[in-house]
Amino acid sequence: MKQDYIAATNGDIKIEVKCEVVNGHSYAATRTEKRLNHDKYKKAFTLIEVLVTLTIILILVGIMTGLGKYLKTSSSEDLTESAIQVVGLALEQYYSVHTAFPPQIDSKADWETELGSAITLVPPGTAPADAEFWQSSALFYYLDQTPASRQFLESLAAQMTTNKNASGVKLVIEIPTGGTKYDLVRIVDAWGRPLRYEYAVGDVFPQVISAGADGKFDTGDDLKNF
């Protein structure tokens, strides 16, 4: 018995022919085999891997972005709470000297009434009309006039006070009596918004409030000294 093999390949198909000679007679048998293209499947699997990896990266970016915002907000809250505590200490020192707390000033007119003198704003008309602006500005003015409380104001971080309006214009007030000029400095929170100062005669202690991250007073994220 004699056997011969003939094999041929065409792309992914392999054809094998087996020839046998038995007792003078010839026999032939064929076998067709389709081979898997591993390279093709390997490329498809790699594409899936890339898509999965990109999805994971996008998820991680989202998580890190949210975490970054949380940490930034948390840091701003800590800085603001620290400033409010400093203002509270300055108020205690002010009281120890004057046996009274600074008045709550809600407007330029209120301040003029308290001082018994007109106030000129330089440049004119450059200050906002909201009560918190004047409350914070007047609070700084009174605390700064008393050395015992001023030393606490000087310990505030630089970004927690400003004498500029939203347009970056430096604000000054002039009291005609004596021609005295003062930088109109106000105490702000870590988001750059003025602190609210609330005090009425008879209150045990003034309340100092930040509107918090949302910028709105009387909401759940307000920060207070008590």
Instruction: Tell me the pLDDT tens digit for each residue of 52-80.
Output: 888 888 888 878 777 677 667 789 999 99
- Give the highest mean pLDDT range of 6-20, 34-48, 110-124, 188-202: 188-202
Residue 208 tokens, joined = 């100092």
One domain, residues 84 and 169? yes
**What digits encode the pLDDT tens for the residues 101-139?**
999 999 999 999 998 888 999 898 888 889 999 999 999
Boundaries of domain holding 165: 79-224
Residue 84 placed within a domain? yes
pTM confidence score: 0.70
Those residues with Cβ within 8 angstroms of residue 94's Cβ, 6 or more apart along the chain or in another chain = 101, 102, 142, 143, 146, 148, 149
Burial 208-224 (b: 16+ CB within 10 A, else e): bbbbbbeeeeeeeeebe
Structural domains counted in the chain: 2
One domain, residues 110 and 174? yes
- Mean of per-residue pLDDT scores for the chain: 84
H/E element, 71: helix 38-98
One domain, residues 31 and 137? no
Residue 69 placed within a domain? no
One domain, residues 95 and 205? yes
One domain, residues 102 and 9? no
- As a whole number of angstroms, the distance between CA 213 and CA 79 comes to 12
